[in-house]
Chains A and B, each alone.
Chain A
Amino acid sequence: MQRSQEAQVKLLVDVRLDGANQLSQFPSSPTLPAPATPPPLNAGPPLLQVRNLRTWFPIKRGVFQRTVGQIKAVDGVSFDVQAGRTLGLVGESGCGKTTVGRTILRLIPATTGSVTFKGDDFFAHRGEDLRHLRRQMQIIFQDPVSSLNPRMTVGNIVGEPLTVHNIAWGSDRVDRVAALLQRVGLDPSYASRYPHEFSGGQRQRIGIARALALSPDFIVCDEPVSALDVSIQSQILNLLDDLQRERKIAFLFIAHNLAVVEHFSDEVAVMYLGRIVEKASRTELYANPKHPYTVALLSAVPEPDPRPKKTRIVLSGEVPSPSKPPTGCPFHPRCPLTREAAKQANAADTVEITTAGERVRVLRKCVEEVPPLEQKQGEPGHVAACWVTR
């Protein structure tokens, strides 16, 4: 027993030494870790690679602020974003989709995991290097009111990134700001006005102009239209669409509205409790959803049609707290599929659980083991994390 333990420790040390040796031999080697997920649908190196991203927030209690647990807001998320394309990230509130966007941009520190931008480990950069990379990555926020400084003129809001990154000054900056405002559909003379003088849609245009100022290759759009009126949403979506075509910008499009995500994305990932539970190309995901959560989510969207075609699956219960996620598959307490499957399975393979006040029988495997995100029947690259679905 003791021997084997020693051997194990030795093995670990050896590995670590090996690793260190390799690093010192190739100090500037850009070699990347092997991708943990299957290669993306489109060939060619992705613009952005996210691997096993985890963002945990400690729960602190008591006088000494002892850490008593972790909220696993993002718990092992991996995906790629291709240059000039859009990955839609969809899920309900608290699923961690916003945290993913912010962690990628290092607005929130990651717990573990890596983000590779243009083949470069983004998390490894500091200081001037980091600033340089950040020019290429921008964000558009949900709330167009709180994301614009009320004491700055529109010209200063849009022009500030140009000054911070030492790109344009004086009349050159004025010209660039005017061109940006024009591009997002605002009159250039508005540069001297303040945010409160604008409507929600116009403020969101200002936010977009600011994100465009540095000609980024990648923009995180965090619920860019959900705070806007219905008739304004389509204007902003069309604008983002045009900008993507014109400037080959890649988007990580975070939203809870499935119809908006369908309209806007090339590829879609569905998140539940900090994990991606399904990912596929847009057409495949909406036509052929595999994960029971995706199916239920799609069926829950009210259709603007008084004669609905689809039946609805009403899920029982609510999204559990990420501080106490269920064991095994995080969706099992609400999952209608595991209940169906348990009816046909051997009694030994099922267990009874209490959820939302009712006692139901589910598959033992769903309660005990976390399902991996694996290829399902259908298009290559269509992955889902579910023990039951094929």
Chain B
Amino acid sequence: MAKPLLELRDLNVAFNTERGQIRPVRDVSYSIYPGQTLAVVGESGCGKSVTALSILRLIPSPPGKVLSGEVQFEGRDLLDLSEREMRGVRGRDIAMIFQEPMTSLNPVYTIGDQIAEAVMLHQKVKQKQAYEIAEQAMRDVGISDPGRRLFEYPHQMSGGMRQRVMIAMALSCKPKLLIADEPTTALDVTIQAQILELLRKIQRDTGMAMLLITHDLGVVAENADVVAVMYASRVVEYAPVEELFDAPLHPYTQGLLKSVPRLGAHSERLVSIPGTVPNPARFPGGCKFHPRCPRTREAAAVAGAETVEVVTAEERFRVLETCAVKEPLLREVSKGHWAACHLAEGFESSPTTRPDLANKRAVVARAVGSMIT
């Protein structure tokens, strides 16, 4: 059995704000194996980005603080490293790319300066050689005419090109893990297709592992090996990608999958999840999804159930008392499939293990074809 490259164990992160402490990451565990892509999917404020930032210890502190947990990377807990040791990990072993490439690049330095800086920092090479590595990295990510582009500034490039530069910079030191935080959200679909294809190719060639953070289920379906669904700062479901899309167990995942309009599947009405995405400063009690959950409402309608009334901005209804009072923790409900829902079949008798899957997807990503006349 291979060992995971990165393993998060019960990570808890808190932010102290004027209105008290908020908890954007609660008991989050996941693992990534070499060459694997783990997708973390969730809506705004669910804690998916904060978790990733805390892996690299990039949480501003104060106000942020890791309360407890471990970040095991190649046998070391990154949380125990000194700041100096950590700088050796960032960029070299673990690289990160962000959603908005414009704000992540320095506008007053040329592209070449910025890539070469990263190279010189991590590899003991001279400036001239660093520029050669930078040029090769740019060629690898499909930037045409890299010799000239090295001397351009970020504003001279389009969004797609800047994202390629970010990827080139991230890959210039051949990291073992790439954290991609919404890498294509700011890009158009045709450019998104190019960038995702590029990331898949790099993974095939180098065996790099990837933590892909996104809200787009289409991007998840095409790129992930294993998926972690986050809701209200917890992982609520964890499964191999095929399993998650075929047989989702958590009502939130089910709702998300049904509410996305799909190409070629025109329906008169979309299924929607009622209510709003919870604000981390005002999480509800019990299961954080209960004010929006259709399953608990149905269960509450059955005679004899112990229920409580919920009043939201839009409506009032009854839910199961368990759901409103007790927060379910992630359990392995079926073999290799974790979920956190009181009402998932066999939930109460399932073991509360940490999710860990070494799966690779059996199906390949979409074939790239040519246009037939």
A interface with B by C-beta (< 8 Å): 92-93, 185-187, 190, 199-202, 229-235, 237-238, 241, 256-260, 262-263, 282-283, 286-287, 292, 295-308, 310-315, 318-319, 336-337, 340-341, 356-358, 388
Contacts and interface: CB of A to CB of B under 8 A. Distances in A.
Contacts of B188: 92-93, 256, 319
A199 B277 contact: yes
A259 B277 CA distance: 22
B43 interface: yes
A312 B279 contact: no
Interface in B42-58: 43-44
Interface stretch (B66-74, B216-224, B331-339, B344-352): B216-224
A263 B267 contact: yes
Interface string B106-148: 0000000000000000000000000000000000000011000
B266 interface: yes
Given A229-B277, A319-B188, 10 more contacts: A93-B188, A199-B277, A201-B276, A235-B274, A262-B263, A299-B193, A299-B369, A306-B363, A313-B371, A357-B144
B65 interface: no
5 contacts: A286-B263, A300-B189, A308-B367, A313-B369, A313-B371
B218 A311 contact: no
Contacts of A308: 221-222, 365-367
Contacts of A337: 371, 373
A319 B187 CA distance: 12
A305 B244 CA distance: 10
Report which residue of B190, B192, B197, B367 has the largest number of chain A beta carbons within 10 angstroms of its beta carbon.
Answer: B190
Contacts of A292: 371
Given A201-B276, A232-B277, A303 B269 contact: no
Contacts of B216: 230, 302
A186 B275 CA distance: 11
A53 B154 CA distance: 34
Given A202-B276, A202-B313, A262 B266 contact: yes
B215 interface: yes
A304 B260 contact: yes
Contacts of A319: 188
A254 to B, nearest CB: 14
Interface in B217-267: 217-222, 224, 241-242, 245, 255-257, 259-264, 266-267
Given A256-B188, A312-B368, A388-B373, A229 B44 contact: yes
Nearest to B214: A302
Query: Which 5 A-B pairs have CB atoms at the shortest separation, nearest pair first?
Result: A357-B144, A302-B218, A311-B369, A234-B272, A234-B270
Contacts of A262: 261, 263-264, 266
Contacts of B256: 230-231
